[in-house]
Amino acid sequence: MSELDPRNYAGVGTGPLRAGERVTLSDAKGRRHSILLVVGGAFHTTKGGIAHDDLIGGPDGVVVHSAGGTPYLALRPLLAEWTVTMPRGAAVVYPKDAAQIVGGADIFPGARVIEAGVGSGALTLSLLRAIGPTGRLISYERRADFAAIARKNVENFLGRPHPGWDLRVQDLVEGLQSDPPGDIDRIVLDMLAPWECVEVAAEALVPGGVLCAYVATTTQLARMVETIRVHTGFTEPEATESLVRGWHAEGLAVRPQHAMVGHTGFLVIARRLAPGVVAPARRRRPAPGAYGDDYTGPRGDRG
């Protein structure tokens, strides 16, 4: 692979398994174990040990047996598997939401992206994979301990530092005011009060750029949406959530699984307008009582 091959910076291994790579071992009951391959190393189970040397040099997707004869399927971990099992300092953005953010915010190869609220680095990995080796991601995290965990998780998965990642232990508003990064294509906010950053985000984004906020509660959702509307420099914000339900399919028994990944968060997405431009007014009438008597912002009641 060439130096700029996207696979070099996406944590996507190819060819034989190598020492220093991470591998997931799965047993017949679906239990998974993540191991880092080391020459001469061993993974010990209640059914006996598995020598790392039995995996190193072999193909991905191989079945190995413990000393007691128990079979294990060995596969390089997918990004979605890694992010839900990696060490955490803060709660992670689940794969279903990370996918919606990458798609909804239209993160593309070569994009210039700002992320605020790094946490444990789960969303960071999805953003880095989307921008590729030619993009740039500036990540702001207030807590140094979270930033250290995120950096380790990202580099453990990728196997190397990403050339386009700039991790800053700093408040987003202070950072953008003191060191404006230039034209930014996308801004993703995963924080407690993203509405406090709408003004500086508007200054940083290029016309047509995308602002995406990930929030956990309906109260946060409502405040973020109204703040974007009051600013008037963005398109009408869209709010969504995604639910994932697995299905059991065995013979004639085809039914939804009893457990599902339900609510984890809401996405609020809007696009930056050109300077001085105001979007056409919404033409839908709000429900009676949607706004209190003391509300002074736009009500959406435009005829």
Q: CATH number of the domain that 49 lies in?
A: 3.10.330.20
Order of strands across the sheet with 136-141? 165-169, 136-141, 112-116, 184-189, 205-215, 266-271, 238-240
Residues 6+ apart with CB under 8 A from 28: 70, 71
Pairing of strands 184-189, 205-215: parallel
What pLDDT sits at residue 299? 56
Whether residues 41 and 180 fall in one domain: no
**Tens of pLDDT, residue by residue, the chain (303 residues):** 555 566 666 667 678 888 888 899 998 888 888 888 999 999 998 889 999 999 999 999 999 999 989 999 999 989 998 888 888 888 889 999 999 999 999 999 999 999 999 999 999 999 999 999 999 999 999 999 999 999 999 998 888 899 999 999 999 999 999 888 879 999 999 999 999 999 999 999 999 999 999 999 999 999 999 999 999 999 999 999 999 999 999 999 999 999 888 899 999 999 999 988 888 877 666 677 777 766 666 555 443
Name the binding residues for S-adenosyl-L-methionine. 120-123, 141, 171, 190
Burial class (CB in 10 A: 0-12, 13-18, 19+), 73: middle
What pLDDT sits at residue 29? 87
Flag whether 289 is in a domain: no
What pLDDT sits at residue 284? 66
Name the binding residues. 120-123, 141, 171, 190
Count of domains for the chain: 2
Q: What CATH number has the domain bearing residue 193?
A: 3.40.50.150
Whether residues 97 and 236 fall in one domain: yes
Range of the domain at 50: 18-75
What pLDDT sits at residue 301? 47
Pairing of strands 112-116, 136-141: parallel
Flag whether 296 is in a domain: no
Burial class (CB in 10 A: 0-12, 13-18, 19+), 297: exposed
What pLDDT sits at residue 3? 56
Return the structure tokens found at 69: 């004869």
Task: Answer with the one of 31, 48, 75 that is the final residue of a domain.
Answer: 75
What pLDDT sits at residue 21? 84
What pLDDT sits at residue 300? 52
Of 22, 125, 118, the C-alpha closest to 83 is 125
